[in-house]
Structures are given as C-alpha cells and as structure tokens.
Amino acid sequence: MKRIASLVLGWVACCLLAFAQTGGLKTNLAHWAVGGTLNGGYEVALNREYTLELGGGINPFTFKDNKRVKHWIVQPEVRYWPCESFNGHFFGLHALASEYNVGGLDIPVGRLSRLKEYRYEGFAFGGGISYGYQWVMAPRWNFELNIGAGYAFLTYDKFPCVKCGEKIASETDHYLGVTKAAISLIFLIH
C-alpha cells in the first residue's frame, strides 16, 4: 500500500511540476507554404536542458485538376539544449507517424517524379535525429530553424492515375533522408 501511495504521490508531483514549466505554442511556416498544411505543436521544458515537443499537421485539401497532398502527421521530438531550453542550438531525436493520399504533382526530383503519373495512399512510420537553432525575438516570441534526417517505412497502395482507377499494387518502401524540416514561429507561455 505504501508503494502505491508513493507512486501516486510521485505522479501527482510530476504533473504539478510539468504545469510549472515553460512551454511554447508553435506553428511550422514551411508546412503552411507547402500545400497549406494546417499545423501546430506544443513544446514543454522538462528541465533546463531538455524539452519535449509534440507537433502535427493535417492537409485535407484537393487542388485544381485533382492534385492532392492529403495527409496527417504526428511528429514528437525530445530535444537537448547545450545552454538553456528555448534559446540557441539544440539536438533532437524524433519519431513520425503519417497517413497520406498524394498524386498529380509535377515534382521532377528523384522519387517524387512518380507523383505526376500515379496516386499513392498509405502510411509512414519512422524517426531520426535533428539539429536546430532558436532565436529570441521578443520576451514571448521565438523563431526556429530545424532540419532532421532519418528513416521511414512506407506502406502504400498505388493507383494508375490521380482521379480514377483500381489499385494496381500494394507495396512497401524504405526511405532514408530528410524526415523533418521546420521554420517555426513560437509563442512562449511562462
């Protein structure tokens, strides 16, 4: 019984301490620029050197000529700050989970060139490491740049054209490369 009481008391103390920490509401301007993805996140200081970010986005839109970048993504990240949280350099470890429905896009770069002729519906799971920097712009406003690389496992159904057609294949793929890119505006909550 003492163990249970100690665990409950410890859990309550941790929860109360978490509410006393500095946090930040953020949005990734890069996601807004690429297809108007609605996004947001919250980052909380765990202590002076570590923060935990939970970010995500959703794009429910279909564009002209049935072009689409429909998706949702959740991307949590733990960050280490060498000096102090929410100021200067940081290194991160992130995970990602996403569902997507993309096609009809003319992007003549590597694997993305396939998006012009085919439509893909599927899921992505992965993670990676990141590096970033935050600048203090005002007492409650920060600006952040962040880039990450890692691995993603993709599982998807392939369709012959953007508008129509029956599924022509169910495939998987392994992706190594950029898994995170952010240009973020942050509102700090003390």
Q: Which domains does the chain have, with CATH numbers?
A: 24-189 (2.40.160)
Q: What's the rounded mean pLDDT across residues 54-65?
A: 89
Residues 22, 85 contacting (CB under 8 angstroms) = yes
Taking only the tens place, the pLDDT of each residue in 6-23 is 554 455 445 444 544 589
Residue 170 is encoded by which pair of tokens? 């169910």
Q: What is the pLDDT of residue 109?
A: 64
| pLDDT tens digits for range 149-174 | 999 999 999 888 766 778 999 999 99
**Which has more confidence, 80 or 9?**
80
- Strand locations in 1-115, DSSP E? 23-28, 38-45, 50-59, 68-80, 88-103
Evaluate if residue 183 carries a pLDDT over 80.
yes
b/e map 41-72, b = 16+ CB within 10 Å: bebbbeeeeebbbebbbbbeeeeeeebbbbbb
User: Is pLDDT of 178 > 60?
Assistant: yes
Rounded-to-integer distance, Cα 46 and Cα 54, Å: 13
The answer to whether 169 and 155 are in contact (CB under 8 A) is no
> What letter represents residue 183's amino acid?
I
Encode pLDDT of 109-122 as tens digits: 666 667 778 888 99
Rounded to an integer, the average pLDDT of 25-42 is 92
Measured from the Cβ of residue 115, the count of other Cβ atoms closer than 10 Å reads: 20
What pLDDT score does 113 carry? 62
* Four-residue CA torsion sign, 31, 33, 34, 35: positive
What's the predicted TM-score (pTM) here? 0.81
pLDDT at 65: 76
CA dihedral over 115, 177, 27, 54, signed as positive or negative: positive
What pLDDT does residue 186 have? Answer: 98
Per-residue model confidence (pLDDT) at position 5: 44
Give the pLDDT mean for 18-47: 87
Cβ neighbour number for residue 27 with a 10 Å cutoff: 19
